[in-house]
Amino acid sequence: MRINVITRHAPGNYGSLLQAIATQKIFQQLDYDCRIIDYIPKGETGAKVAFTQVKGKKNWNKNIIKKIAYILSREPEYLVMHHKFFKMRKKYLNMTERFKNREDLEKKFCNSKDIFVTGSDQVWGPISDGNIDMTYFLNFLPDNTTKIAFASSFGRAYFDDESLIKIKKSLKLYSSIAVREDKAVELIKEMGIEAKQVLDPTLLITAEEWSKYINRIPKKQKYVLVYQIHNNPNLSNYAKQYAKKANLSLVRVSPLFHQIGRGGKFVWLPDIDKFLSLIKNAECLITDSFHGTAFALNFNTQFVEVLPNTGTSSRNQSILKLTNLETRIVRNLDDFSYINKKIDFAKVNKIIEKKRMESLSYLRKILNDEE
């Protein structure tokens, strides 16, 4: 049987791509023909990204000169970034043809007997333009279509009443719902709908399986890696001081070229081979990224977390709570005691393995129920 997954696979960041790879791989391992629906919202690819991003930046958007300057400075790097991620998506994902809007999706799938899945990542919260895209609630399908959600995420814990009404109406049409964060479980249950918490797909794939994507032998050097996805100068400063106090070199990895000035040896826009290798072989990862944290957990890499300053920290906190590692959140930016405080990954691995088995067992059950 075929499974069609809609997820945010196309934003130019490693987490979006890697969770899509993992989701597809999980269904394939369960002997399903799985493909990713290649739906990309307007404004989330190529040169349009710079225009979309500047709309949400009040300090830049109010002044026409600043607005133009932002677009001209960022557009080239976004074009390069999205071209690179486009090539990686083509390489690693089994995708449908490209869809630009709901109408095209309706025409394609109106009579489909396939199973449709809303996958992982922040599919049910505001996307790049700040709005909720109801396409990720599979609203282009007839009501009697088999719809399930697996490891879906809102990306935040609070919504206005109008949004909640639309979300509740759409979620009632799913036959089963599994989400990534504990806060998402609570939010859905407040709507009178059952939901189960499962691991993010990247954690359902073992470290050994992810290591197969790494083809290079790393140089024998010790370094602190910083993987930063939000603009937070405090994180950058903390990473520089941490590396200095630990007497280690600092390496920064990012798909965005403008991060070159934030400190550390800069690794710009690597393929996933090198990206995974950098996390796996780091002495410590400093990050504000959920998926950065997920891969540190999987590879047993020491890490500390500087929570994002964007109101989207619930997903980071959820996985740290699950693994009893909330103490790895940096509460005081003058605290570098983590250099000598090591994570006991034996305990962490037991928790993740138990949750991995539960998540996969749940997925098998709901798929068997739908067949």
Average pLDDT over every residue of 71-77: 70
- Confirm whether 2-205+354-370 and 207-340 share one CATH topology: yes
pTM for the full model?
Answer: 0.92
Cβ neighbours, 10 Å, residue 44: 20
CATH number listed for the domain at residues 207-340: 3.40.50.2000
Domain borders along the chain are 2-205+354-370, 207-340
Length of the chain: 371
pLDDT of residue 43 exceeding 80, the answer is no
H-type alpha helices, 262-344:
272-280, 290-299, 314-322
pLDDT in tens, 90-104: 999 999 999 989 999
pLDDT in tens, 156-199: 778 889 999 999 999 999 999 999 998 899 999 999 999 999 99
Q: What is the pLDDT of residue 52?
A: 59
Is the pLDDT higher at 48 or at 32? Answer: 32
Q: What is the pLDDT of residue 68?
A: 63
Gap between the Cα atoms of 112 and 110, Å rounded: 6
Contacts of 308 (CB under 8 A, 6+ apart): 229, 230, 232, 288, 316
Gap between the Cα atoms of 294 and 209, Å rounded: 14
Fold of 2-205+354-370: Rossmann fold (3.40.50)
Question: Do residues 304 and 286 touch, judged by C-beta distance below 8 A?
Answer: yes
